[in-house]
Structure 1
Amino acid sequence: MLAAMSATPHASSQRDEPLIRDRGDACPGALRLHRADDGFLARLRLPGGWLTERQVELLADVAEALGDGGVSVTSRGNAELRGLRDGCGSELAALLVRGGLLPSATHERVRNIVASPAAGLDGFGCADAQLWVRELDALLCGAAWAAALSGRFLFVLDDGRGDVAGLGGDVTLVAAGGHALVRVGRRAFRVAGADAPRAALAAADAFLRAAADAGNGAWRVRELPEGHVPGLAGALARAGIAAEPATDPVLPHGAPLAPGPLGADAAYVLAPLGRLTAAQLRALLPADEVRFTPWRGVVVRTDPARLPELEAGGLVTRADAPGAGVTACTGRPGCAKSLADVRAEAARAPAGRLPVHFSGCERRCGHPHGTWVDVLATGDGDYLVDGAATPRTSLPEAVATARTTR
């Protein structure tokens, strides 16, 4: 199936009605915890997925001391802590501040920046998008008005290889030689590469102005009603950024990273079902840095010869391993909306060419982008595999067929 499907239901009762919101964004963060069936949940924004060795240690320690002992890698390369005990919010915040993971209390939920995870490491790409990440993050946190962005608003920074350009960003930057394409909705402009982070911030400003004018409470660009288009040209001009229109720009399309060696000084591994235990986090070390990816993996700046050691620790290190490309929502018992323990089923998924995502309800939280196999719990003990009714006893065979024949 195609990932044009949204993980969040439409807010109106009829599909052809315009979206109108009368409430604020309740997306969880590091300071705004979400109550789940398995305790409280915190979502830590990690721009570009980037963590230092010290911060990896901190996450492992926090997961053990305050949570359920693990860290989930989200489809935006962020980190989630689950099973947090009631009343631990202040202690959690203090630990995150101490570790440099909470640079702004007012902007912590808007630091949603996905970037090409291998940028600057493997010799591919036209620019080091991770350098753009650092500058854009500082600009975001330094702009008081940017705190009005939704916790769902997404910046995507592609180094030109096309691995993240198609991940549905509200603002997308794509490197091309010494220039960058900045795109919002169907509008795009070419700017100098050095101006790319400032151009992304200006594009966010254009969205907020369009959303205020629309008055429908839009959180994302695609939610703006017809006729309310972000004024990207004006925003770039106000920021003093020289730009030229890009007519019918085509975003590059490249494959996600495959687990294994990444150049001479890094390796890429996948987190089993998108979740790392504290022990697996520590097993990544020593490392100059790690980067969580939107495919629920981790780029580790370390000697690739350590891959067998990482595999022994339960991490997925080969593209043909059974756990490669398999993801699932939280499922039971952690989520009250889930109809089944989908993670248990996902753990038995056979290997295959296409990604597969197991969902406990029709929201399909955390589903991948692109083409993927959809496994949906129905509530009667059985499943739908790409819409076809499938008894639970036949699930492995149906998933294997769907992953290899489409």
Structure 2
Amino acid sequence: MTRSTPDSCPGVLRLHQAADGPLARIRVPGGRLAPEQLQALADAARDLGNGALELTSRGNVQLRQVRDAAALADRLGAAGLLPSRTHERVRNIVASPLSGRVGGWADVHGLAADLDAGLRADPRLADLPGRVLFTVDDGRGDVSTLRGDIGIQAVAADEFAVLLAGADTGLRVSAREAVEVMLDAARGFLDLRGTGDDGQWRLHEIPGGAERVVEALDRSPAGAPLELGAAHDLPIGWLDQDNGLVSLGAGVPLGTLPARTAEFLAAVERPVFVTPWRSLVITDLDEGPAETVVRVLAPMGLIFDAQSPWLQVSACAGRPGCAKSRTDVRADLAAAVESDRVRSGTPEPARIVVPAEDVTVAGRQHWSGCERRCGRPTGPVTDVVATPDGYRVDTH
């Protein structure tokens, strides 16, 4: 596949002109936000945007209706959230949020940070498309389900499978080798992609791309390829850390976090991880403070109940944020949740078109304002797509 248009992924320095105003996307490699960084984002959302943070499916953060792009860049730079003006859009790195705290073979957060530093240190890697995704999985198989372009997954305490185009290559590396191998794979992708803005955006778009990158790495497969899962349990609720402290997994309805709620999170003064499932993990809490966090933030809309129907749903931006959307998808979806039309269980196979007020769907579902189905998660999901005559519910 060869693209006819350049990669237009937004960043901080290149905003996307959405229907409701300029949109900025802030990369958060590995998902980790220090309290002062979360406060800076809350302040920017309130002072320069629409008053909310949007969490993305890659563990990044978006601000809508940005009123002063230069001021936003200055604020984010001061907070350490814009460490490179040349590489800002290519820092798409997701890591297992619970790594080093709850389970997993290895703590991969240091590897994610080293990968980010390595990307920024190589001028050539600034040419990566903004859609390339790196995954750093601690062995539990959570972020590998995202089917990134280049990744690793721990298979032992100091052994990692190398993943390319969403599949295991059979290559195995140590922790010491892992970052450089991922960087070499990224360089190999650039060699295959060619130059200019009309090349492929993702490794899987290149015929035989993964195999050709393996050849360039000049390594031999050393293990039977892993079978990567299609889904996993979201980290929601009370999570006992291996060191005796507590993490809290918090769902964020439709990934929209009001600035005021973000300020309360920053005041907890603990690291917060943005997950690629549009949720948060608040880490390193004693039991008493953890109970207080739940009592304060649950009434503000954060979800600590793993059975909440909000955890079954996702949606595109819809109107008024997207001019291509046929309707206000998020309002229709919120009405479905609030009227108990989002159910647990397995959906029955169907392909029907019904009015918004009649949509009733069981299980994981994604609502879209048009056929592009932006933001659709990987894995089994029911599509609820707006049409001129209502929503088409398409269960497979």
Q: Indicate the TM-score class for this superposition, using the shorter chain for normalisation.
A: 0.7 to 0.9
CA contact (8 A) 2:235 2:281 kept: no
CA contact (8 A) 1:273 1:346 kept: no
- Structure 2 unmatched ranges of 5 or more: 346-362
Partner of 1:42: 24
User: Per the alignment, do residues 253 and 35 of structure 1 end up closer, same or farther by CA in structure 2, a change over 3 Å counting?
Assistant: closer
Partner of 1:100: 80
> d(CA) in 1 for partners of 2:56 and 2:147?
15
Partner of 1:312: 299
CA contact (8 A) 2:204 2:210 kept: no
Partner of 2:264: 283
> d(CA) in 2 for partners of 1:25 and 1:226?
22
**Normalised by the size of structure 2, how large is the TM-score?**
0.86
Three-state SS of the structure 1 residue aligned to 2:373 is coil
Q: What do residues 204-234 of structure 1 show as CA deviations (whole Å, max 9, x unaligned)?
A: 1111112229997111111113578433243
Match of 2:111 among 132, 147, 154: 132
Q: Return the letter of the residue paired with 2:216.
A: G
Partner of 1:255: 232
CA contact (8 A) 1:287 1:300 kept: no
CA contact (8 A) 1:60 1:278 kept: yes
Q: Return the letter of the residue paired with 1:290.
A: V
> d(CA) in 1 for partners of 2:209 and 2:183?
22
Q: Return the letter of the residue paired with 2:290.
A: P
Partner of 1:110: 90
Partner of 1:147: 126
| CA drift at 1:149 | 0.5
CA contact (8 A) 1:129 1:159 kept: yes
Moved more, 34-43 or 313-322: 313-322
Match of 1:340 among 308, 320, 327: 327
Partner of 2:376: 367
Moved more, 243-252 or 52-61: 243-252
| CA drift at 1:196 | 1.3
> d(CA) in 2 for partners of 1:337 and 1:345?
16
Query: Are 2:213 and 1:231 equivalent residues in the alignment?
Result: yes
Match of 1:210 among 174, 192, 197: 192
| CA drift at 1:244 | 4.4
- Structure 1 unmatched ranges of 5 or more: 1-18, 238-242, 388-405
| CA drift at 1:113 | 0.5
> d(CA) in 1 for partners of 2:334 and 2:381?
17
> d(CA) in 2 for partners of 1:62 and 1:213?
36
Q: Return the letter of the residue paired with 1:365.
A: C
| CA drift at 1:379 | 2.5
RMSD of the TM alignment (CA)?
A: 2.1
Q: What do residues 329-379 of structure 1 show as CA deviations (whole Å, max 9, x unaligned)?
A: 111111100001110111122342532211111111111111112111112
Partner of 2:57: 75
| CA drift at 1:24 | 2.3
CA contact (8 A) 2:385 2:391 kept: yes
Partner of 1:121: 101
Three-state SS of the structure 1 residue aligned to 2:81 is coil
- Paired positions, count: 361
Q: Return the letter of the residue paired with 2:382.
A: V
Q: Return the letter of the residue paired with 1:92.
A: L
Q: What do residues 234-291 of structure 1 show as CA deviations (whole Å, max 9, x unaligned)?
A: 3366xxxxx6444434335661324201213210101111100001111223132111
> d(CA) in 1 for partners of 2:97 and 2:122?
26
Partner of 1:357: 366
Query: Are 2:62 and 1:54 equivalent residues in the alignment?
Result: no
Query: Are 2:172 and 1:195 equivalent residues in the alignment?
Result: no
User: Per the alignment, do residues 117 and 236 of structure 1 end up closer, same or farther by CA in structure 2, a change over 3 Å counting?
Assistant: farther
Paired-residue identity, %: 42
| CA drift at 1:83 | 1.2
Partner of 2:247: 266
Partner of 1:159: 138
Partner of 1:330: 317
Three-state SS of the structure 2 residue aligned to 1:309 is helix
> d(CA) in 2 for partners of 1:374 and 1:99?
38
User: Per the alignment, do residues 385 and 257 of structure 1 end up closer, same or farther by CA in structure 2, a change over 3 Å counting?
Assistant: same
Three-state SS of the structure 2 residue aligned to 1:312 is coil
CA contact (8 A) 1:311 1:317 kept: yes
> d(CA) in 2 for partners of 1:149 and 1:342?
32
Query: Are 2:157 and 1:182 equivalent residues in the alignment?
Result: no
User: Per the alignment, do residues 249 and 259 of structure 1 end up closer, same or farther by CA in structure 2, a change over 3 Å counting?
Assistant: closer
Three-state SS of the structure 2 residue aligned to 1:386 is strand
User: Per the alignment, do residues 176 and 22 of structure 1 end up closer, same or farther by CA in structure 2, a change over 3 Å counting?
Assistant: same
| CA drift at 1:319 | 1.4
Question: Runs ≥4 in structure 1, deviation > 6 angstroms?
Answer: 213-216
**Normalised by the size of structure 1, how large is the TM-score?**
0.84
User: Per the alignment, do residues 214 and 221 of structure 1 end up closer, same or farther by CA in structure 2, a change over 3 Å counting?
Assistant: farther
CA contact (8 A) 1:191 1:244 kept: no
Q: Return the letter of the residue paired with 1:277.
A: P
> d(CA) in 1 for partners of 2:53 and 2:322?
16
Three-state SS of the structure 1 residue aligned to 2:42 is helix
